[in-house]
Amino acid sequence: MNASEIRQKYLDFQSSKGHRVIAPAPLVLENDPTTLFTGSGMQPLLRYLLGEPHPDGTRLTDSQPCLRLQDIEDVGDPRHTTVFEMLGNWSLGDYFKKEQIENYFEFLTKIIGLDPNKIFVTCFIGSEKYGIPKDIEAAEIWQSVFKKAGIDAKIAEIDTAENGDKRGIKDGERIFFYNDKENWWSRGGGIETTPIGDPCGPDSEVFYDFGEDKQDVEKYGKSHPASDGARFMEIGNQVFMQYRRNEDGTFSELEHKNVDFGGGLERLAAAQMGSFDVFKTSLMQPIIKKLEQLSGKSYDNNTDEMRIICDHLRGAYLLAAQGLAPSNKAQGYALRRLIRRAILKALDLGIAQDFLKETISTIESEYKSLPDSILTNRDHALEILEKEEKVFRKTLNKGLKELKRMASRRGEKSPSSGDPDKSARPQALEAKLSGYDVFTLQDTYGFPMEISVEEAYKEGIKLSKDWKQEFDAALQEQRERSKTASKGMFKGGLEDHGEQTTKYHTATHLLLAALQKHVSSDICQKGSNITADRMRFDFNCDHKLSPEELKQVEDQVNEWIKADLPVAFAEYDKEYAKNVLKAHGQFWDKYPEKLKVYTVGNENSPVSREVCGGPHVEHTGVLGQFKIQKEESSSAGVRRIKAVLE
Ligand code: SER
């Protein structure tokens, strides 16, 4: 049975049980700013789960493409994917636990033929704190269902998954009670983090057992359904959505009790074929085979790379087919990241030529069943991806040139002109490439850290001893700067900052220095956010800035711009930077022992001296006209300035 057949059988089966098949929603939901992408089948149905009548009745079913970028780092193992199809069925105040459990068991064992002996389940242990009872009802329904299949299913109580790893499974145990980390479902995860106003409830998860020989006790402890490792795989989650979270944190019963079932098609297909590896299913194999052919390497010896490429290309195709274009913002950035990560992994396999089009075209047919109302841009998807591939290959070439330039420049320029005390940084002088350089390559040129390290090795370019710490410090700085903009949204990874953001970055240093000079010397940076179009800067200050103060600050920045001051950096010992140079810094306790300091103006009496990973312009003259657009309160004792460079 291939995955398409399983999808069809599921929808037919649910139809036979009175469910109406509804069209899946797009991956980018128009009216839901809480996530970038549709991450579960219930998400588009939220308002109906909260009580609004659905035009198609009280029993619904669909197959919903989902994208969960939060899982991106886990991709590479046999079962995690960022993109997946979630088979779903819902009861909106209609049937409840008994009918759901019986139906799903019937589907698994009778319709797609899974062996009932290989099915294990979990239920919620209850929460005393919130007055939510242990789900004995669900456990007893499971017992009777197993009994009809001739299985005496015993119940085990494991409060936390960690306990379970020591305890394992005892004779005949098949139904496991866990706490809210495992068996409570809300869009926020566990019970404490359930969002206010959201529907939620205890859940009962279903697992497929691939056999005791798949457990790796040394690595994961003893297996039990919710443990890590290859033995058990979750193949369905039945949420008994009977609560809603109140403003005061408590939970009230919903007037109508709902069932929200979701099961990953990829995983069901894998269980059905007896493979613990979802990348062996018909949904993935065409891509894997193509990668084997292009690289001349086998999947079995290159699983991690091929899984990542396969996963990311499926996601990239779905997004492009829905009309999304790669960009540096939100969903477009996620698409860009998927494509670029896939290209980099392919390089690891030795695939250096353009390969997206021919690889992705192998799975176009898998998505035939998705309606045109979602895949509105199906016909142009491959073109979009191909274009981005070409752009990224150019970026890679440019980054490589820049890396070599940096290394040779550092080789000649020793000691650097911006360093008043050579003895403060003997180690950094020996290295040709520092972690800050590696960060600049990634941040400004989109040239990934891994590639820099690899290229440096190949070219015999020496990296500084603490390069990783330096890199992390620069990354940390940058994350702090972009925190406000990306709060609650996907962030991290490769970013492309063009010239414009580099200019704003330097302007930020000038603005801080001007505030310190004209408003108060105690002013520190409290946050910063830069896009290609504007800058936002938060700082401590006990009063609203007067129009005169604002004018002085603005004029000061423009004066420094006009003076075309040099911008230089050098690496120092932390101690020296802090106490001797008195450089401005926000995270002294987090910085590594060696750090990078940017100076604007004359070395001996600079206008600004800050710890910073860069990048910056080389002369302030290129910044243009600095204009403050707004000054406002950000939070208690913190003011915010919005400004542009014109
Ligand atoms: N909402 C649940 C999940 O995402 C079941 O569909 O797992």
d(CA 183, CA 205): 7
So what's the pLDDT on residue 482?
61
Q: pLDDT higher for 16 or 530?
A: 16
Confidence of residue 102 (pLDDT cuts 50, 70, 90): very high
Residue 599 in contact with residue 631, Cβ under 8 Å? no
d(CA 349, CA 346): 5
The pLDDT of residue 488 is above 80: no
Determine the distance from the C-alpha atom of residue 65 to the mean position of all C-alpha atoms in its chain, rounded to a whole number: 17
Confidence of residue 413 (pLDDT cuts 50, 70, 90): very low
Residue of 85, 124, 260 to test ligand 1 pocket, by largest number of atoms within 8 Å of CB: 260
Q: Domain limits of the chain?
A: 3-280, 285-393, 410-414+429-485, 491-645
Confidence of residue 444 (pLDDT cuts 50, 70, 90): confident
State which amino acid sits at residue 560: W
Give the model confidence (pLDDT) of 350-376 as tens digits: 999 999 999 999 999 888 888 888 999
Q: Name the least confident of 81-95, 263-277, 604-618.
A: 604-618
Pick among 3.40.250.10, 3.50.50.60, 1.20.1290.10, 3.30.930.10: CATH of 3-280: 3.30.930.10
User: Helices 435-445 and 449-459 meet at what angle, rounded to 10?
Assistant: 120
Residue 87, beta-bridge partner list: 63, 263
Give the model confidence (pLDDT) of 201-217 as tens digits: 999 999 999 999 999 89
Long-range contacts of 106-111 (CB under 8 A, 24+ apart): 106/13, 107/9, 107/10, 107/13, 108/206, 108/235, 108/236, 109/149, 111/9, 111/10, 111/13
Please, which residues have CB within 8 angstroms of residue 12's CB and are 6 or more apart in sequence?
none
Residue of 38, 40, 81 to test ligand 1 pocket, by largest number of atoms within 8 Å of CB: 40
Confidence of residue 573 (pLDDT cuts 50, 70, 90): confident
d(CA 615, CA 57): 57
Q: 88 C-alpha vs ligand 1 centroid, how far in Å?
A: 8
Q: Which atom of ligand 1 is nearest to the CA of 238?
A: 5
So what's the pLDDT on residue 496?
36
So what's the pLDDT on residue 421?
43
| Residue corresponding to tokens 């509105």 | 376
DSSP track, 149-186: TT--PEEEE-SSHHHHHHH---TTEEEEEE-HHHHEE-
As for ligand 1, residues whose beta carbon falls within 6 Å of it are 40-42, 88, 185, 237, 239, 260-262
Q: Name the least confident of 291-295, 465-469, 541-545.
A: 465-469
So what's the pLDDT on residue 592?
77
The pLDDT of residue 542 is above 50: yes
Q: 263 C-alpha vs ligand 1 centroid, how far in Å?
A: 8
Mean pLDDT of 131-135: 96
φ, ψ for residue 243, nearest 5 deg: -125, 165
Q: Which residue, by CA, sits nearest to atom 4 of ligand 1?
A: 40
Q: 40 C-alpha vs ligand 1 centroid, how far in Å?
A: 6
So what's the pLDDT on residue 162?
66
Nearest C-alpha neighbor of 584 from the set 545, 544, 540, 617: 540
3-class secondary structure, 336: helix
So what's the pLDDT on residue 422?
40
Give the model confidence (pLDDT) of 237-262 as tens digits: 999 999 999 989 999 999 889 999 99
d(CA 53, CA 80): 35
State which amino acid sits at residue 501: T
Name the strand (E) or helix (H) holding 4.
helix 3-16
Q: 363 C-alpha vs ligand 1 centroid, how far in Å?
A: 26
Q: 185 C-alpha vs ligand 1 centroid, how far in Å?
A: 7
Q: What is the mean pLDDT of the chain?
A: 89
- In terms of pTM, does the model score above 0.75? no
Give the model confidence (pLDDT) of 4-39 as tens digits: 999 999 999 999 999 999 999 999 887 777 778 999
Q: Cα–Cα distances in Å, from 484 out to 6, 59, 480, 504?
A: 44, 41, 8, 16
Q: Which atom of ligand 1 is nearest to the CA of 262?
A: 6
Confidence of residue 594 (pLDDT cuts 50, 70, 90): confident
Mean pLDDT of 451-480: 85
Residue of 42, 187, 204, 261 to test ligand 1 pocket, by largest number of atoms within 8 Å of CB: 42
Name the strand (E) or helix (H) holding 611.
strand 608-611
Strand locations in 34-172 (E): 59-67, 83-92, 119-124, 154-157
Q: Which atom of ligand 1 is nearest to the CA of 239?
A: 5
Confidence of residue 483 (pLDDT cuts 50, 70, 90): low
Tokens describing residue 310: 């396969």
Please, which residues have CB within 8 angstroms of residue 218's CB and are 6 or more apart in sequence?
none
CATH homologous superfamily for the domain 491-645: Threonyl-trna Synthetase; Chain A, domain 2 (3.30.980.10)
Q: Which atom of ligand 1 is nearest to the CA of 41?
A: 6
